[in-house]
Amino acid sequence: MSKSKLRGKDLIKIGYTEGRVIGITVNVMAKHFKKMSRQNKMQLLTEILENPQAFLETQYVDVIAKELVTAAEKVKEMEVINLNKQALDYRIYGKQHIGQNAIDQMDVAMKLPVAVGGALMPDAHQGYGLPIGGVLATENAVIPYGVGVDIGCRMCLTMYNMKPSYIKGHHAALKKMLMANTAFGAGQGVADPMDDPIFENEAFQEIGFVRGLKDTAFKQIGSSGGGNHFVEFGVVSVLDPDNEWDIPVGDYIAILSHSGSRGLGARIANHYTKIAMEKCKLPKEAKHLAWLDLNTEAGMEYWIAMNLAGDYASACHHHIHRRLSKALGEKPMAMVENHHNFAWKELLEDGTEVIVHRKGATPAGKGVLGIIPGSMTAPGFIVRGKGDFTSLNSASHGAGRQFSRRKAKENFTKKQVRDLLKKSEVTLIGGGIDEAPMAYKDINQVIASQSDLVEVIGKFQPRIVRMAAD
């Protein structure tokens, strides 16, 4: 195949939407622009996409422009779906810790015609679409921004039969392990990615858009994103003598990681959010809550792609822990993990099947284990769900921000962070002011606000933390 020949995935990358226009454009470029360089083709098509009206009388590409204009007119003609006048009732946990803007966002979500239930967790703060910490149940509909851009963002903890004193005695070696076996930031990957059964998933073959993401997914497997993602060594305290692992109560070394589905998930989220917003026109305040009907082709595609991204996120964590376990020369005694940006098919208390979106919320069905982290200096908690239907079997996914990233940079200094790290006996590799521990709510208050939802069975204290550079 000529290097200058374009494929559908090339057009999707620059903003073209799947449909008739893709086929028309590929055929026109192959037939009439064979000698044009790939770069010039992409530039021309970008200009047509941005202003199709200007190309309606331009030879050869007029058919592309007409199709783009027709599609845009169809979107404009779509009737706006009205929200319900009254929001459904929903439970707010730890309301005193939650800003009004997050509550207002949740109120809008509870007016959606497809909404059947919801809850707001005590770590909630404003986001796009659903607030972070928002839980929303819908009827046969999935909301891409209700899941979030980082599909399958999750926690994973492994525990080792090693005394906490090992950390102090081997501090420099553990720092080197983190540096050698983790990678952080947009577009980053580990130097020697390992293969994984995830790449045999049929979704990589069945869905054209996803097929084009396989190479990126392979390059980034076993790596972590930026922002609040981390990998850290610390001390886990097993508190419940009747724990699921039959581990004696006491303190052990543990590794805790937090990250999601990398570029694969982000591309899936953005692609299907765009489709949802084209097919489901909502009032301005609710536009990011556009949904896909699960009986439609787009809805089924997103569901398959979302689950692929979730499995990929899990595989990334397993690669990280496998590498570090090998470097430690120890096998873990136990592993605990959970998603907190995802959608599940679940049953309400009356047996009705719904789609439960947890955007920054931890599954907390009866007996289900999860991890709720604090910050780089505050403890995290291993919890066991109590199965509370009022919360849609959910709990918080962390402490939650009380300062946005911008406000954190305005309010805190590097010295303040260094002083708190020293006081807390925590070593930080990377990180930025936007992730200052002071930017987060008090995790102990957040946990206390959801005692009806989970019971604490373990506690994790960070000691050596690696995050993306500022």
Question: Is 124 part of a structural domain of the chain?
Answer: no
Residues 293 and 213 in one domain: yes
pLDDT tens by residue, 43-63: 999 999 989 999 999 999 999
Catalytic residue from among 229, 271, 321, 397: 397
For residue range 352-370, what is the model confidence (pLDDT) as tens digits? 999 999 999 999 999 999 9
Whether 159 and 299 map to the same domain: the answer is yes
Three state DSSP letters for 136-188? EEECCEECHHHHCCCCCCEEEEEEECCCCHHHHHCHHHHHHHHHHHCCECCCC
Looking at 50, 77, 104, the residue that finishes a domain is 77
Q: How large a percentage of the chain has pLDDT more than 70?
A: 98
- Do 56 and 169 lie in one domain? The reply is no
In this structure, what are the phi and psi dihedrals at residue 189, rounded to the nearest 5 degrees?
-150, 165
Task: Examine the domain organization and report whether 69 and 161 are in the same domain.
Answer: no
Judged against a pLDDT cut of 90, whether residue 374 lies above it is answered with yes
Question: Which domain covers residue 240, as residue numbers?
Answer: 147-469
In a domain, residue 119? The reply is no
Q: Is residue 100 part of a domain?
A: no
* Known catalytic residue at 397: yes
Residue 122 lies in a domain: no
- Final residue before a domain boundary, out of 77, 110, 128: 77
* Alpha-carbon distance values, 250 to 24, 69, 235 (Å): 65, 66, 10
Together in a domain, 70 and 163: no
Report yes or no on 134 lying in a domain.
no
CA-to-CA dists, residue 180 to 175, 324, 326, 465, angstroms: 9, 9, 12, 14
Q: Are 191 and 49 part of one and the same domain?
A: no
Pair 239, 361 in one domain: yes
Asked if residue 249 is part of any domain, the answer here is: yes
For the whole prediction, is pTM greater than 0.85? Answer: no
- Pair (356, 237) in one structural domain: yes
Bridge partners of 135, per DSSP, are 119, 358
pLDDT of the residue at 182: 96
Instruction: List the CATH number of the domain containing 312.
Output: 3.90.1860.10
Of 77, 92, 116, the one marking the end of a domain is 77
Residue 2 lies in a domain: no
pLDDT at residue 329 greater than cutoff 90? yes
Say if residue 457 is in the same domain as residue 329.
yes
Check residue 191 and give its pLDDT. 86
pLDDT (tens digit, 9 = 90+) per residue, 221-242? Answer: 999 999 999 999 999 999 999 9
Q: Into how many domains does the chain fold?
A: 2
The answer to whether residues 254 and 357 belong to one domain is: yes
pLDDT (tens digit per residue) in 145-188: 999 999 999 999 999 999 999 999 999 999 999 999 999 988 88
Q: Do 251 and 151 share a structural domain?
A: yes
State whether 331 and 210 are in the same domain: yes
Q: Is 117 part of a structural domain of the chain?
A: no
